Each structure stands twice: as C-alpha cells, then as structure tokens.
Amino acid sequence: MFENIMVAIDQDQITNKILDATVEIARNKPTQVTLIHVSQEYVSNGMTYVPENFLEEI
C-alpha cells in the first residue's frame, strides 16, 4: 500500500498510538518508515549562516 511512511514523533502520549498504527500499516510490506522528532527546547531568533558565494552560485 505505502512504500514510504514519515512519522512525526514527540514526547506526547499519543506518539505510542501513532507508532503502533504505523507498524500495523507497514507490517510484512516493503515499506520504509522514517521517524522525525522536532524539539522546541531551543529556538534561535538569530540569522541563519549563508556562505559568501551562495548568491553568486545561484
């Protein structure tokens, strides 16, 4: 059914239910499961580094 499944996880209790459902969907199938965890513990308000030649190359 699905070849690739991407699952966003965090520390919430519903994560376990989501992972269980993902396993059931992917079970016995050639499926790649990718887990993504995004943390909000550190958020920077600073500027992102851009190399000097970045704009020239574009």
pLDDT of residue 38: 73
Instruction: Give the angle 38-40-42 at the CA atoms, nearest 5°.
Output: 115
- Between CA 58 and CA 43 the distance in angstroms is 28
Q: Is the pTM of this model over 0.85?
A: no
Residue 2 above 90 pLDDT?
Answer: no
Neighbour-count burial for 37-56, b at 16+ CB within 10 Å, e otherwise: eeeeeeeeeeeeeeeeeeee
Among the ranges given (3-7, 19-23, 29-33, 39-43), the one the predictor scored with the smallest mean pLDDT: 39-43
